[in-house]
Structure 1
Amino acid sequence: MQMKMFLALRSAGVAEAEARSVADAVRDEVKSAVQDLREDLATKGDVQRSESKLAAELERRLGDHLKWTIVIVFGGFGLFGTIVALSKAL
């Protein structure tokens, strides 16, 4: 790209030193922009690791939710049984 820009500027009548300077400046700007973008991009491996962590966390939380749901259901049955037994005793 740098060479194409240089040649285009030269064919437009721009002096060699100025054409080279402009082409170099554009190259440096593009490199900087690409470097900035690379810092924000995730690789396939990054996505897979994040997905694995999320899946493990979801599985753990669903297990906890199921455990507490069972505790609450059996606790409710126990409380209901206690209330029925007490009401018969009265």
Structure 2
Amino acid sequence: MLPTEKIENDYPKYHFHFISLPDDLDIVFHGQIRGNDIYINKDDPIEIQATTMIREINHANFDSGNDLSNRQSIKTGKAEYFATKWAQRDVRKYL
């Protein structure tokens, strides 16, 4: 069973959508959450997909519901740091 499948089984509350992005897109996109829908870049390596899944779940569980799209905000920086740090730790049991 793939790590992404294990994560999907452990978090049935969320709906994971694996999407492909155009090659000429000038941004780096790994994933994003909207409600209970989590969008993951299926062109990323499986380890990054799994880490992104856990990271977005962390955002869903712990963020205050505020818009975190302003990357200059201190609040956004703290939320991103927290979600990333915990994802790096928690993804190990799936890889």
TM-score (norm 2): 0.26
> Comparing both structures, which one devotes a greater share of its residues to strand?
2
Q: Which structure exhibits the higher relative contact order, with contacts defined as CA atoms closer than 8 Å and separated by 6 or more residues? A: 2
